[in-house]
Amino acid sequence: MEAIKENIQAVLADLPQHVRLVAVSKFHPKEAIEAAYSAGHRIFGESRVQELQEKKPILPDDIEWHFIGHLQPNKVKYIAPYVSLIHAMDSEKLLREIDKQGKKVGRRIPCLLQVHVAKEETKFGFLPDELKHILSSCDWKSLSYAKISGMMCMATFTDDEEQIRQEFKTANSLFEEIKKAYFAEDADFCIKSWGMSDDYHIAIEEGSNMIRVGTRIFGARQY
Ligand SMILES: *Cc1c(COP(=O)(O)O)cnc(C)c1O
């Protein structure tokens, strides 16, 4: 657990000021989170609702929990009372459910448009055209409890750094385009969540201001 403290300090040490770190603690025990917490960190990311529900009550209250995984609409209700940011909003149905559950608990819940820029078939998210379509056609502006606050993406799992860079570039220019077209007056639309353990340096060079790092902090996950 001592290593976790050193690892997170090392990641934070060379992070530009405008970039926030989400420490991805999925599959790691409470003690691992406590180690990072004792280094002063407060933002943690989980990707399974049940795991988050188990961890939340046994860890300090001032932790900002981010939900980073694929989220089924019928599970939003469990995390709506406390989740700080939902990274992977990938359907209109999910957006409406976040709004509905936010309204029930009286919380405005920030979420990010997950955009599919990777070459892989398996990744969730809106294709660029779908994104523009949903933003032009759906009444998202009237959903006052689901607050669209930026964009999230994952690059292809590959060693090809140039490909990864191109995918982040695509995400970044899409962000600028969407911002200009739909959120020009909205200062809250500002989060660019891309970059993980193996590619966060490239991500930051390509505009990211929120990185989601697990392995580099907590070590390999045991599934
Ligand atoms: C697991 C996960 C991460 C962290 O990945 P590492 O390679 O361990 O840093 C980041 N983002 C998402 C969406 C994840 O599911």
The domains found in the chain, sorted by start residue, are 2-218 (3.20.20.10)
How many Å lie between the centroid of ligand 1 and the Cα of residue 201?
Answer: 14
**Residue-level pLDDT at 148:** 97
**Residue-level pLDDT at 149:** 98
**Residue-level pLDDT at 210:** 98
pLDDT digits (tens, 9 = 90+) for 19-33: 999 999 999 999 999
**Residue-level pLDDT at 2:** 83
How many Å lie between the centroid of ligand 1 and the Cα of residue 100?
Answer: 28
**Residue-level pLDDT at 122:** 65
Mean model confidence pLDDT for the chain: 96
**Residue-level pLDDT at 124:** 84
Closest CA to 179 of 124, 112, 84: 112
**Residue-level pLDDT at 123:** 64
Q: Which residues have CB under 8 Å from 68's CB, separation 6+?
A: 22, 24, 26, 45, 46, 47, 87, 88, 212
Answer yes or no: is pLDDT of 1 > 90.
no
- Rounded to whole angstroms, the maximal C-alpha distance in the chain is 51
pLDDT digits (tens, 9 = 90+) for 192-219: 999 999 999 999 999 999 999 999 999 9
Pocket flag, ligand 1, residue 197 (CB < 6 Å): yes
| Nearest ligand 1 atom to alpha carbon 221 | 8
Cβ pair 6, 219 in contact under 8 A: no
Q: How far apart are CA 172 and CA 192, in angstroms?
A: 8
Give me the mean pLDDT over the 63-88 stretch: 98
Pocket flag, ligand 1, residue 55 (CB < 6 Å): no
Answer yes or no: is pLDDT of 222 > 90.
no
3-class DSSP string for the chain = CHHHHHHHHHHHHCCCCCCEEEEECCCCCHHHHHHHHHCCCCEEEECCHHHHHHHHHHCCCCCEEEECCCCCHHHHHHHCCCCCEEEEECCHHHHHHHHHHHHHHCCCEEEEEEECCCCCCCCCCECHHHHHHHHHHCCHHHCCCEEEEEEECCCCCCCCHHHHHHHHHHHHHHHHHHHHHHCCCCCCCCEEECCCCCCHHHHHHCCCCEEEECHHHHCCCCC
Q: In which band, very low, low, confident or very high, does the pLDDT at 115 lie, cut at 50, 70 and 90?
A: very high
Q: Which of 45-59, 109-123, 137-151 has the lowest mean pLDDT?
A: 109-123
Cβ pair 7, 29 in contact under 8 A: no
